């Protein structure tokens, strides 16, 4: 999703730190969604709070996760940890939340987020997208569970189309891990739609923006970001990948993953996360062998920001543009 706010002062990307933010509790910040908080005049990043520094079996560090909040009062030059979203523990038992997506409509904030009940050491459990609402971005109330194409749906991404409808894109793991979509007039009732989504390869984290006269779809392939272009948000043409080359900034030496984009004054700022420590274990067989306890450096993740640019009709990203040796 593209977070838009013409009321925000700016994002000072040239002075943004690298890494932009590391979660001070569990050191596993991932899946950012960026929002301008108009009441406090601050940028807020909502993110999956993976438990990277907790010894655990397999991928259990990705479960039992809340939604963390990072805040900047100075146009993105510094960030601090606000805490976690309140109200997500709406029922008993351990709940897992992934990949928040925040949009605002008529003074109400809406969070669409992946919910998994329980904690698993493998990639287990039913996965659904649920809807929360808030008036202050901190305290949330459960609204509903969306009825989508399967019980293996994750990573919501939402924008408002030119006709006023809201469109939700998401990954359906039961359909080969490609992007599916649904439309809504009011963010409450959703109708499944069938169109030519990005289906040329498996991916996750579909994120759509309207910029420079076209819709752009970014997807996380695990080895960089897939890029697709569309005039109407329905038919997509694939372009060259971005973020598939490692950056030079601190904690930017790995593939860019799960982006969110903010458009300000015709500039596009992309927030993403990086598993920078994985460069230490970059061997073909390592990922297959850590089914007991993965090392901390493998699990930790940091948030970063970079600028998107349009060159000869193609989307590019030089993540080292503001690198200082």
pLDDT at 5: 45
pLDDT at 6: 44
Question: pLDDT at residue 1 above 60?
Answer: no
Cβ burial, residue 102 (10 Å; 0-12/13-18/19+): buried
CA-CA distance, 178 to 175, in Å (whole number)? 6
Mean pLDDT value across residues 90-99? 96
Question: pLDDT at residue 317 above 80?
Answer: yes
Q: What is the per-residue pLDDT across 258-281, written as a single tens digit (0 to 9) for each?
A: 999 999 999 999 999 999 999 888
Mean pLDDT value across residues 291-306? 89
Question: pLDDT at residue 234 above 90?
Answer: no
Question: pLDDT at residue 242 above 60?
Answer: yes
Residue 296: enclosing H or E segment and its boundaries?
Answer: helix 296-299
CA-CA distance, 154 to 126, in Å (whole number)? 10
C-alpha closest to that of 18 among 244, 318, 252, 253 = 252
Question: pLDDT at residue 3 above 50?
Answer: no
Mean pLDDT of all residues belonging to the chain: 92
β-pairing, 95-105 vs 80-84, is unpaired
In the sheet with 108-117, reading across from the earlier edge strand, the strands are 95-105, 108-117, 128-134, 141-145
**How many CA atoms within 13 Å lie on the side-chain side of 163?**
7
Q: What is the largest CA-CA distance in the chain?
A: 53
Which phi and psi (to 5°) does residue 62 adopt?
-90, 0
Which carries the bigger pLDDT value, residue 318 or residue 6? 318
299: left (phi over 0), alpha (psi -120 to 50) or beta: alpha
User: Are 20 and 305 spatial neighbours (Cβ–Cβ below 8 Å)?
Assistant: yes
Strand partners, 272: 304
Mean pLDDT value across residues 230-248? 93
pLDDT at 325: 62
Q: What is the per-residue pLDDT across 16-37, written as a single tens digit (0 to 9) for each?
A: 999 999 999 999 999 999 999 9
The single residue listed with the structure tokens 């460069």 is 279
pTM: 0.94
Mean pLDDT value across residues 95-102? 98
Domains and CATH numbers, the chain: 2-317 (2.115.10.20)
SS3 content of the chain, % helix, strand, coil (to 5): 5, 50, 45
Which carries the bigger pLDDT value, residue 202 or residue 252? 252
Which carries the bigger pLDDT value, residue 75 or residue 199? 75
Q: What is the per-residue pLDDT across 170-226, written as a single tens digit (0 to 9) for each?
A: 999 888 888 899 999 999 999 999 765 666 667 888 999 999 999 999 999 999 999
pLDDT at 14: 92
pLDDT category, 2, cuts 50, 70, 90? very low
Q: What is the per-residue pLDDT across 80-92, written as a single tens digit (0 to 9) for each?
A: 999 999 999 999 9
What is the sign of the dihedral through the CA atoms of 113, 62, 250 and 205? Answer: negative
Question: pLDDT at residue 291 above 70?
Answer: no
pLDDT at 243: 98
Structure token digits, residue 168: 């939700």
């Amino acid at each position: 999703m593209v977070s838009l706010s013409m009321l925000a002062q700016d994002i000072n990307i040239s002075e943004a730190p690298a890494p932009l933010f590391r979660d001070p509790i569990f050191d596993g910040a991932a899946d950012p969604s960026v929002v301008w908080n108009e009441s406090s005049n601050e940028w807020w990043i909502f993110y999956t709070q993976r438990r990277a520094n907790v010894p655990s079996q397999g991928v259990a560090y990705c479960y039992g996760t809340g939604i963390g909040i990072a805040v900047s009062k100075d146009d993105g030059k510094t960030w601090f940890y606000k805490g976690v979203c309140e109200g997500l523990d709406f029922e008993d038992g351990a709940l897992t939340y992934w990949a928040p997506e925040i949009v605002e409509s008529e003074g109400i904030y809406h969070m669409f987020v992946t919910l998994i009940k329980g904690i698993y050491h493998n990639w287990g459990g039913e996965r659904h997208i649920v809807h929360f609402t808030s008036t202050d971005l901190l305290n949330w109330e459960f609204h509903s569970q969306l009825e989508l194409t399967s019980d293996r749906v994750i990573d919501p991404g939402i924008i408002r189309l030119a006709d006023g409808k809201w469109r939700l894109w998401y990954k359906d793991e039961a359909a080969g891990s490609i992007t599916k979509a649904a439309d809504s007039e009011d963010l409450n009732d959703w109708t499944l739609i069938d169109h030519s989504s990005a289906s040329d390869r498996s991916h996750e984290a579909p994120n759509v923006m309207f910029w420079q006269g076209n819709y752009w779809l970014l997807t996380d392939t695990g080895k960089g970001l897939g890029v697709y272009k569309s005039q109407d948000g329905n038919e997509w043409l694939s372009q060259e990948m971005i973020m598939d080359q490692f950056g030079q900034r601190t904690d930017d030496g790995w593939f860019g993953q799960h982006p969110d984009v903010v458009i300000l004054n015709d500039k596009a700022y992309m927030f993403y996360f990086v598993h920078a420590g994985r460069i230490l274990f970059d061997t073909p067989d390592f990922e297959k062998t850590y089914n007991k306890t993965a090392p901390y450096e493998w699990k930790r993740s940091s948030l970063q920001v970079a600028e998107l640019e349009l060159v000869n009709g193609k989307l590019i990203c030089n993540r080292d543009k503001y690198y200082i040796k």
